[in-house]
Structure 1
Amino acid sequence: MFSPLEKRKVVIVVMTGNMLLDFSGPSDVFTNANNCLQSLQSADGYEVLIAAPTADRKVIANTGVEIHCPYSAMEITTPIDTLIICGNDFRESSVAKFTDFYKWLSKINTGNTRRIASVCGGAFTLAKVGLLDGKRATTHWDLSDRLKKEYPGVLVNANHFFTNDGNIYTSAGVSSGIDLSLALVEEDFGKDIAIRVARKLVFYLSRPGFQTQFGNLLPVYESENIAQKIQYWLIGHLHESLEVSRLAGEMNMSTRNFTRVFHKETGIPPAKFIEKLRVETARKFLEDTDIPLERIAEQCGLGNLVSMRRTFLRHLMTTPSDYRRIFKTALKDAGIEDLLINQSPEDINTV
């Protein structure tokens, strides 16, 4: 069915409401792979088809750009080497217009498609038609909890930039589609070609780190949530010992009732919340300042360097020094470091 003498057909379906890089990134990877293969006088390569999930072939990106695709996905009836669903449209009003596309996608199987992949919210589209049932999958870190809730049969792991289970490949947010596409090129034509493509795109062949490092450890709570009510006070006292009884006192509650209400409203015990808040505060210092690591550990209540390193590895899968190297702001501090050093702990959260 998949003849080695033919170009590998890559169908990239552009969902509405997506980011442009969701589909343009993978498209550029496969197109540049063709260029690299041609420079080596190889007849191998990809036939890249950009398709819309609607019959009119039109897609509106969340940037407002209207994309006129050469194909509608439903027009493609011949075998596909690699199918990639890029992004998703979560608007309730858009569900009806995708009916035909979902019918088409539900017929995709190993008999007519060698590999099936998704970028970012595209995992929801695969899950909707049952392609992720019982499969390991990932999606954008900000969507992982929603994917778990809406499709409990999917084994969601939000740590990785991309993952695969059999012939199903899923990737995290936006640029992770490039990570995945480079891995697919390496799988098809070897590491040397994939490296050539990565260099052309000024991109890592295998990007260091984990998606966890980009997400927030703590969600944004409603104003009435007990965590939101006490968080402002906590930030100014992270360098102190914070027993649950002290937090309960600040809320004029008994320790037992505070612990019960806190766990019910946040899903985690107070001690775990405080640890995550300390890490979130420390990572902000690492991103925005050159304050020494020892001072950050002390200021955020993370103990010494050894204990801060251990805590960062547990939550972010990286060390404080590596986190600073990767995520430190590209802009000059413009005085923020001196301001923070001279502030009292109670004022830190106002910067």
Structure 2
Amino acid sequence: MSRPSDPTPRDVDVLAFPDVQLLDVAGPLQVFASANELAVAAGMLRPYRARVVMPGAAATASAGLGLVGHPLPAADAPCDTLIVAGGWGVHGAVRDTALVDWLRERARHARRTASVCTGAFLLAAAGLLNERRAVTHWTRCDELAARFPAVRVESDPIFIRDGAVWTSAGVTAGIDLALALVEEDLGRALALEVARHLVVFLKRPGGQAQFSAALSLQKAGDRFGELHAWIAENLAADLSVATLAARVGMSERSFVRHYRAQTGVTPARSIERMRLEAARRLLGDTALPVKRVAARCGFGTEETMRRGFLRSLGVSPQAYRERFAGSGASAG
């Protein structure tokens, strides 16, 4: 673990407001705090000086916990990283023209600006996302795109970086975003150590989906949950309609009709989504050849998988790996 070349701590401001989402604030703050603790333990200087800033002296988060922060600093004061939290209170924050004006100017003096969850609405209101790729919580992507047509909204990634502006998906994705910021500043090794320290399951790349394919298919009164679990464990098996219908004890015609009524998609589309998700995970986490990934995930041929990636993600499997693979990918 190397010592940061800049001995001056990086100033990180996390913008909060009434009815802010608590984890949007606490998650990133804890990442930077843990990075400080681990850096000092390794004989390094404290890399961050993080604080909460808000329009008033105090605010109550939507979870009911009171927050005490620092008043908004001068908009032209130097700042390394500015992070805008989200939450239900973002609607009122967007209507606060003084706050929006402050944010617009503050971002000009920050090295990088980021949002967590619906904090993207504040960035968009300030014009900071115009003609940029951006993401927010998956339930609010359509609204963000409708209200701010100049923003190139993508609903799938956990976080997106477009130049000096970063946006992230819902709630816990703020932790992934903060880990990515730490990795950019201090390297992958320390970022992974922070993830382990926080008992985060893994440090997810920004291109990973906001929620799993199997989870997205679940509905209330789910009658195909066990089938989806079996499919996920047998992606390279025979997954024809006949096989699936037999597993749930239905005729093929009845199965297709009921399945589409519950999930909104065909069985074939569900299987492709789960295969793509598994392939993305293997491409990002292992060094397996693309041909073996295609076979393991049930695509049959590398070309079939390539067409699926291009159709759904707009990139080839190899391009996806080059963009999102971790440096510690295993041989699988």
| TM-score normalised by structure 1 residue count | 0.63
SS at match of 2:106: coil
CA distance in 1 between partners of 2:79 and 2:35 (Å)? 18
Question: What is the aligned partner in structure 1 of residue 34 from structure 2?
Answer: 32
Question: What is the aligned partner in structure 2 of residue 156 from structure 1?
Answer: 153
Question: What is the aligned partner in structure 2 of residue 205 from structure 1?
Answer: 203
Report whether the alignment pairs 1:144 with 2:141.
Answer: yes
C-alpha change, 1:101 and 1:94, in structure 2 (3 Å) is closer
Question: What is the aligned partner in structure 1 of residue 19 from structure 2?
Answer: 17
Question: What is the aligned partner in structure 2 of residue 313 from structure 1?
Answer: 272
Question: What is the aligned partner in structure 1 of residue 84 from structure 2?
Answer: 85
SS at match of 2:122: helix
C-alpha change, 1:114 and 1:99, in structure 2 (3 Å) is same
CA distance in 1 between partners of 2:221 and 2:160 (Å)? 26
How high is the sequence identity, in percent, across the aligned residues?
33
1:283: how far off?
10
Asked if the contact 1:15–1:89 (Cα under 8 Å) also holds between the matched residues in 2, the reply is no
1:316: how far off?
9.2
CA distance in 2 between partners of 1:94 and 1:190 (Å)? 34
5+ residue gaps, structure 2, are: 232-243, 261-265, 282-332
CA RMSD between the two structures: 3.4
Task: Map 1:252-331; keep pairs closer than 5 Å.
Answer: 279-280=217-218, 284-285=222-223, 287=225, 292-293=230-231, 294=244, 295-296=247-248, 300-301=255-256, 308=267, 310-314=269-273, 317-318=276-277
Report whether the alignment pairs 1:60 with 2:60.
Answer: yes
CA distance in 1 between partners of 2:275 and 2:30 (Å)? 30
CA distance in 2 between partners of 1:292 and 1:161 (Å)? 26
Q: What amino acid is the match of 2:9?
A: K
CA distance in 2 between partners of 1:51 and 1:281 (Å)? 39
CA distance in 2 between partners of 1:15 and 1:317 (Å)? 39
Question: What is the aligned partner in structure 2 of residue 343 from structure 1?
Answer: none
Asked if the contact 2:85–2:118 (Cα under 8 Å) also holds between the matched residues in 1, the reply is yes
Question: What is the aligned partner in structure 1 of residue 106 from structure 2?
Answer: 108
Q: Which entry has the higher C-alpha Rg, 1 or 2?
A: 1
1:4: how far off?
2.3
| TM-score normalised by structure 2 residue count | 0.66
1:115: how far off?
0.6
Question: What is the aligned partner in structure 1 of residue 320 from structure 2?
Answer: none
1:209: how far off?
4.3
CA distance in 2 between partners of 1:45 and 1:93 (Å)? 33
Q: What amino acid is the match of 1:8?
A: R
Report whether the alignment pairs 1:120 with 2:124.
Answer: no
CA distance in 1 between partners of 2:53 and 2:219 (Å)? 43
Task: Map 1:222-261; keep pairs closer than 5 Å.
Answer: none
Asked if the contact 2:94–2:100 (Cα under 8 Å) also holds between the matched residues in 1, the reply is no
Deviations 1:312-343 (A, max 9, x none): 43489536xx9xxxxxxxxxxxxxxxxxxxxx
CA distance in 2 between partners of 1:175 and 1:142 (Å)? 15
5+ residue gaps, structure 1, are: 218-278, 323-351
Asked if the contact 2:75–2:102 (Cα under 8 Å) also holds between the matched residues in 1, the reply is no
CA distance in 1 between partners of 2:229 and 2:152 (Å)? 40
CA distance in 2 between partners of 1:215 and 1:125 (Å)? 32
Which of 46, 49, 52 is matched with 1:47 structurally? Answer: 49
Asked if the contact 1:312–1:318 (Cα under 8 Å) also holds between the matched residues in 2, the reply is no
CA distance in 1 between partners of 2:272 and 2:228 (Å)? 20
CA distance in 2 between partners of 1:4 and 1:64 (Å)? 39
Asked if the contact 1:141–1:215 (Cα under 8 Å) also holds between the matched residues in 2, the reply is no
How many residues align structurally? 250
C-alpha change, 1:131 and 1:33, in structure 2 (3 Å) is same
Deviations 1:112-133 (A, max 9, x none): 2101000001000000010000
SS at match of 2:103: helix
